[in-house]
Amino acid sequence: MSLWPRSRTARRRLVLLLAIAPVLALAAGLTLWGLSDSISLFYTPAQAQAAKVAPGQAVQLGGLVLPGSVVKQPDGRVDFAITDNRATAQVHFQGDLPDLFREGQGVVAEGSFDAGGVFQASRVLAKHDEKYMPREVSKALKAQGEWRGDGETPSYKRP
């Protein structure tokens, strides 16, 4: 008993399928491998500490700007801290901050951690109205039980 179908048409279809399947699998694998460098993971400060993000790995760090932490340097660099009320991450950013950037507001910083554990931001995104917060930030805060939602003032705790 043979594994090949008896019908000539069925054998052609099976051969065609056996020829195309590895090509499609290879194309999907190469696509995923090629896109792996463009993946940017989102973390809150507590999640980033727990995951022990490797220095230089591109990530997005989101949370609330810790009140009293914003320091503008004479060379144009801005230092501030992002918190999720469980952990705090120090952020250095060289450039112009968004007009809506304020202490106590939700932000997402894109960049990477350096060897000293300081987040070197290449871009900072701020919320754009009174009730908006980036979805990833609100989900992470809700999951940690820190969500104050709908305009309630969060209580800031310095970790």
Query: Is residue 155, in this structure, part of any structural domain at all?
Result: no
Identify the pLDDT of residue 1: 61
Identify the pLDDT of residue 70: 93
29 and 48 inside one domain: no
Number of domains in the chain: 2
33 and 45 inside one domain: no
Range of the domain at 46: 41-143
**Rounded Cα distance, 159 and 142, in Å:** 18
Query: Is residue 149, in this structure, part of any structural domain at all?
Result: no
27 and 79 inside one domain: no
95 and 139 inside one domain: yes
70 and 87 inside one domain: yes
Report the sign of the C-alpha dihedral through residues 76, 43, 132, 35, in that order.
Answer: positive
118 and 68 inside one domain: yes
Q: In CATH, what number is assigned to the domain containing residue 109? A: 2.40.50.140
33 and 48 inside one domain: no
Query: Is residue 152, in this structure, part of any structural domain at all?
Result: no
* Residue 69 neighbours by CB under 8 Å, 6+ apart: 79, 80, 81, 103
Write out the chain's pLDDT in tens, 159 residues.
678 888 889 989 999 999 999 999 999 999 888 887 677 688 999 999 898 888 988 899 999 999 999 999 999 899 999 998 889 999 999 988 888 888 888 899 999 999 999 999 999 998 665 555 667 777 877 887 766 665 555 555 555
Identify the pLDDT of residue 120: 95
Query: Is residue 131, in this structure, part of any structural domain at all?
Result: yes
**119: β partners:** 91, 113
Query: Is residue 129, in this structure, part of any structural domain at all?
Result: yes
Identify the pLDDT of residue 104: 85
